[in-house]
């Protein structure tokens, strides 16, 4: 009658893979509890001590996704959704994606696994579309599937997972200014030149080859984005400085997490990831911007029942 879910935070885009690449962070994410209620309404239950989330079911991504699923199966019961939100909204760490994916996954369990994983990604993605203006699955896919995922196409939706260097670590810093994905998407160009397409495509291919063959040099060389990073860097305080500092401290590569403001770096070891978090903290301290840092392995699991 009720279920509790862990839904991971995610990093999307990952350099050149705008709306394509995503990965699940290990052990960083939200806890979501779902309870059937008898009054055919969906309610979001507030919890003290966690970041404010919209309580209006029309505005919260979790209830938007749940409503779509319940409509599809003609379910007359309602649902109470309680979210312990550890991934701050507007952080670029897939906060809305983890709510959307967690509810899709949990509700599917309550509905005796009526939907396939791809259908769950689709439901969760429709929730993202309701908030960000356009459907993107690069956060909800890794949140549901775990690991490193690729959205191969949107029409029809096709998603797969690739192998990755399991010992690779990730350092993440969240400088606490809010960036709305819908706004950050408006900055991007509608068109790219043929020359940029070729470079971006080469980098996407290089990233996949680098991840699957554990070729760190290739990952480093391919973590270049000609489309989103140049436009969005301005939304993130001291972005260039933070990136240069990470690379100076042995990061394999560094870029914007999702639509920002979080920044991530890949490293070969845990101690390198920890060190980069320390230098980032010092840097943002100097700029008087509060931060949160995280380190993680790249092998985050997808949503799971707790
Ligand atoms: N791919 C999306 C974007 C992710 O960059 O807008 C948002 O978290």
Q: What is the mean pLDDT of the chain?
A: 94
> What residue owns the CA closest to ligand 1's atom 1?
19
Q: What is the whole-number distance in angstroms between the Cα of residue 264 and the centre of ligand 1?
A: 14
Q: What is the pLDDT of residues 187-211, one digit of tens each?
A: 999 999 999 999 999 999 999 999 9
User: What's 46's DSSP letter?
Assistant: P
Q: What is the pLDDT of residues 261-273, one digit of tens each?
A: 999 999 999 999 9
Q: Which of 100, 141, 136 is nearest to 259 (CA)?
A: 136
Give the pLDDT score at 170.
Answer: 97
For range 153-179, the mean pLDDT: 94
- Using 50, 70 and 90 to split pLDDT, how confident is the model at 298? confident
Task: Compare 278 and 297 and report the one with higher pLDDT.
Answer: 278
Q: What is the whole-number distance in angstroms between the Cα of residue 209 and the centre of ligand 1?
A: 23
Complex ipTM tops 0.95? yes
Q: Which helix (H) or strand (E) holds 155?
A: none
The mean-pLDDT minimum among 37-41, 48-52, 114-118, 217-221 falls in 48-52
pTM of this structure: 0.95
Whether pLDDT at 51 is above 70: no
**Which atom of ligand 1 is closest in space to residue 232's alpha carbon?**
5
Whether pLDDT at 49 is above 80: no
Sign of CA dihedral 42, 46, 51, 56: positive
181 noted as active-site residue: yes
Whether pLDDT at 50 is above 80: no
Whether pLDDT at 52 is above 80: no
The Cα 108–Cα 91 span in angstroms is: 27
Q: Which of 113, 108, 110, 142 is nearest to 125 (CA)?
A: 142
The mean-pLDDT minimum among 60-74, 172-186, 266-280 falls in 172-186
- Among the listed residues 10, 82, 181, 291, the single catalytic one is 181
Token pair, residue 158, equals 């096709």
Q: Which of 159, 81, 96 is nearest to 126 (CA)?
A: 96
Q: Give residue ranges with CB within 6 A of ligand 1.
A: 12-13, 18-19, 136, 138-139, 181, 184-185, 228, 258-259
Greatest mean pLDDT range, 31-40, 51-60, 213-222: 213-222
For range 46-74, the mean pLDDT: 88
278 noted as active-site residue: no
For range 161-190, the mean pLDDT: 92
The Cα 280–Cα 293 span in angstroms is: 8
**In the chain, which residue ranges form alpha helices assigned H by DSSP?**
61-72, 95-110, 117-132, 140-145, 181-186, 194-213, 216-222, 229-232, 239-248, 270-286
- The percent helix, strand, coil of the chain (3-state, each to 5) is 40, 25, 35
The mean-pLDDT minimum among 47-61, 93-107, 126-140 falls in 47-61
> What residue owns the CA closest to ligand 1's atom 3?
259
The pair phi, psi for residue 23, each rounded to 5°, is: -140, 150
Using alpha carbons only, give the angle 178, 182, 188 rounded to the nearest 5 degrees.
105
Whether pLDDT at 133 is above 90: no
Instruction: Provide, rounded to the nearest whole percent, the portion of the chain with pLDDT above 70.
Output: 99
- Using 50, 70 and 90 to split pLDDT, how confident is the model at 141? very high
Give the pLDDT score at 132.
Answer: 74
Q: What is the whole-number distance in angstroms between the Cα of residue 253 and the centre of ligand 1?
A: 19
Cβ contact 126:286 at 8 Å: no
């Amino acid at each position: 009658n009720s279920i509790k879910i862990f839904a991971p935070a995610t990093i999307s885009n990952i350099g050149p893979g705008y709306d394509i690449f995503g990965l699940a962070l290990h052990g960083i994410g939200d806890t979501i509890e779902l309870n059937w209620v008898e009054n055919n309404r969906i309610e979001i239950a507030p919890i003290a001590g966690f970041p404010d989330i919209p309580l209006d079911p029309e505005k919260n991504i979790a209830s938007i996704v749940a409503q779509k699923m319940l409509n599809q199966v003609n379910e007359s019961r309602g649902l109470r959704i309680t979210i312990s939100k550890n991934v701050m909204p507007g952080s670029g760490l897939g906060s809305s994606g983890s709510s959307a994916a967690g509810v899709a996954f949990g509700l599917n369990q309550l509905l005796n696994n009526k939907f396939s994983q791809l259908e769950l990604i689709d439901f969760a993605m429709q929730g993202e579309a309701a908030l960000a203006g356009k459907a993107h699955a690069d956060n909800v896919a890794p949140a549901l599937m775990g690991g490193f995922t690729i959205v191969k196409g949107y029409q029809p939706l096709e998603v797969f997972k690739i192998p990755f260097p399991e010992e690779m670590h990730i350092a993440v810093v969240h400088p606490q200014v809010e960036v709305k994905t819908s706004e950050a998407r408006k900055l991007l160009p509608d068109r790219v030149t043929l020359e940029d397409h070729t470079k971006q495509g080469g980098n996407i291919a290089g990233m996949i080859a680098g991840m699957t063959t554990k070729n760190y040099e290739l990952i480093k060389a391919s973590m270049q984005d000609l489309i989103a990073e140049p436009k969005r860097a301005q939304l993130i305080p001291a972005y260039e400085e933070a990136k240069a500092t990470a690379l100076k401290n042995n990061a394999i590569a560094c870029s914007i997490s999702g639509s920002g403001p979080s920044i991530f770096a890949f490293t070969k070891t845990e101690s390198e990831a920890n060190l980069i978090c320390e230098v980032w903290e010092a840097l943002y301290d100097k700029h008087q911007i509060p931060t949160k840092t995280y380190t993680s392995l790249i092998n985050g699991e997808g949503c799971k029942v707790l």
